[in-house]
Chain A
Amino acid sequence: MILNEVKEILEAEVIIGSDNLKIEVKIGCAADSMSDILAFAKPGALLLTGLTNLQVVYTSEISDIKAICFVRGKKPDEKVIKLAKSKNLPMLMTHLPMFESCGRLYANGLIGIGYLDIKKKNG
């Protein structure tokens, strides 16, 4: 799914990366705990989170997250935006809550980590 579709499905606002909306996110990942992101996110994922601090940018970089969408209308401050810009990490913001954001994306075909694990198990 390309970022522009994510934007439309979640009625999201683009914080950074308006010229980068054609990039593709292959998988969705939603978490409010950094360790969960580090443990479970797959490279190339879109991260949905309510966390807006600097560490969310570092965590995304370390976990090879392709783009972030903040949920529940949370917007990071300038410091965070500046860091994300330097790392070329697109960021969106939606007013939808986490559950609904996930539901809409999943219903529109964005797969989750479970799908990959099941696929692996079944060969």
Chain B
Amino acid sequence: MAEDKKYTKIQELTYELKVENVMTKKVVTVSPQKTIYKLRNILHTKRISGTPVVDKGKLIGIISIEDFMKCLAKGEINIPIEERMTKKVRTLYADEPLVHAVRKFDEYGFGRFPVIERGKGKLVGIITKGDIIKGLLKKLEIDYHKEEIHRYRASHIFEDIVADRTTLTFHYNVVGEDFNRAGESASGLKRTLSRLGIQPDSVRRAAIAAYEAEMNIVVFTEGGKLTVSVETHRIKIEASDSGPGIPDIEQAMQPGFSTAPERIRELGFGAGMGLLNIKNCADKMNLTSKVGKGTHLEAIIYLNQR
């Protein structure tokens, strides 16, 4: 199973990475008038096995150590490179996905492909199988490292606290009708949850639910509180206010039902989707309200435990 997974991860990366992400940018090139003898020195000192032939900035051919050996065998050491280079050069575009490069290596069996900029035809790099392997390993390492940091942080805080049960609670005060600040609480919550190392999908769902709840408090009430408590297995979001209350909760949950005034709609809110969004993001949602007293909303998101 584990091996299967790794295979698909590498495959995924070959689609995600582009040729330009892994290619060697500093390309050693030769001019067509140089002799095969001089080519020997270049290949030797630069420790490469082939190089593009460039004339006045334009890629006109490619020559490899194999071509050199053929010349050596025939004693053609003093003829210019242009007479023995491969003129029909197969190239890759810098913005092509890496998977195209992998396919071309398979198809042609070449050791390297010059990389050119799409549209301009300018030589911008060169790619070998070694570059592809190095690029993939580097990307895997970065991803692995990021994941490690997240895991470390997440386990760190909960593991360092010695208790039978640990709950972290965050309080946010939401000011009613203050559109200069509306969104701040959910934004802060999102950053906090990310830092705790909670999985991005769960962070996103919690942030969306909190944001919609925050907006409801801003739009409809004189203010309220957002309380979020995190345990290793779940995030609980509570939004409470002492505002006007909801007369008919069932109706309020209907998609598109809204009592928001026009000026709120102009801001892009009050489309009657907020509560539904919260419900869709949460694993469990509970809403109670008394007209004239206030509203209490509770949304729970369960976390996958490792």
The reply to whether B182 and A36 contact each other, CB–CB distance below 8 Å, is no
Chain A residues 1-60 with CB under 8 Å of chain B are 32-36, 38-39, 43, 49, 51, 53-59
Q: Which among A33, A58, A61, A79 has the highest number of chain B CB atoms within 10 Å? A: A58
Instruction: With A35-B269, A36-B271, A38-B212 as known contacts, state yes or no: A59 contacts B280, CB within 8 Å.
Output: no
Q: Given A62-B208, A63-B208, decide whether A35 and B274 contact each other with a Cβ distance below 8 A.
A: yes
Q: Is the interface of A mostly helix, strand, loop or mixed?
A: helix
A54–B273 CB distance below 8 A? no
Task: Please name all residues of chain A whose beta carbon is closer than 8 Å to the beta carbon of B179 when the two chains form the complex.
Answer: 53-55
Q: How far is the CB of B217 from chain A (nearest CB, A)?
A: 14
Contact B180 A62 (CB under 8 A): no
The chain A residue with its CB closest to the CB of B267 is: A53
User: Is B268 a contact of A51 with CB atoms below 8 Å?
Assistant: yes
Within 8 A of A (CB), among B156-208: 179-180, 182-184, 186-187, 190, 200, 204, 207-208
The reply to whether B208 and A53 contact each other, CB–CB distance below 8 Å, is: no
Contact B208 A79 (CB under 8 A): no
A59 to B271, CA, bound (A): 15
Instruction: Say yes or no: is B215 at the interface (Cβ < 8 Å to chain A).
Output: yes
Question: Bound complex: CA of A55 vs CA of B211, how far in Å?
Answer: 10
A71 and B277 alpha carbons, distance in the complex (Å)? 25
Q: Which residue of B lies closest to A53 (CB)?
A: B267
B269 engages A62 (CB within 8 Å): no
Q: Total interface residues on B, using CB and 8 Å?
A: 25
CB distance from A114 to the nearest CB of B (A): 18
The answer for the CA separation of A120 and B122 in the assembled complex, in Å, is 39
With A51-B268, A58-B187 as contacts: A38 and B182 at CB distance below 8 Å: no
Q: Which residues of B contact A56 (CB under 8 A)?
A: 268
When distances are taken between beta carbons in the complex, the residues of chain A under 8 Å from B271 are 33-36
Q: Given contacts A58-B182, A59-B183, A62-B187, is CB(A33)–CB(B208) below 8 Å? A: no
Q: Which residues of A contact B182 (CB under 8 A)?
A: 54-55, 58
- Cα–Cα, bound, A56→B182 (Å): 11
Given contacts A34-B215, A62-B190, contact A54 B204 (CB under 8 A): no
Judging by beta carbons under 8 Å apart, are A59 and B211 in contact?
yes
> Given A33-B273, A34-B268, A55-B179, are A39 and B204 neighbors across the interface (CB < 8 Å)?
no
Residues from chain A with Cβ under 8 Å of B184 in the complex: 58
A interface residues with partner B (beta carbon < 8 Å)? 32-36, 38-39, 43, 49, 51, 53-59, 61-64, 79
Q: Give 8 nearest A-B pairs by CB, closest first.
A: A58-B183, A35-B273, A33-B271, A51-B268, A34-B268, A62-B207, A62-B211, A38-B208
Q: What residues of chain B have their CB less than 8 Å away from a CB belonging to chain A?
A: 179-180, 182-184, 186-187, 190, 200, 204, 207-208, 211-212, 215, 267-269, 271-274, 276-277, 280
- Please give 15 more A-B residue pairs, beta carbons under 8 A apart, in addition to A34-B215, A39-B273, A39-B276: A34-B268, A34-B271, A35-B273, A35-B277, A39-B277, A51-B268, A53-B179, A54-B179, A58-B186, A58-B187, A59-B268, A61-B190, A62-B187, A62-B207, A63-B204
**Interface pairs (9), CB distance under 8 Å:** A34-B271, A35-B274, A38-B208, A49-B268, A53-B267, A53-B268, A61-B190, A62-B186, A62-B211
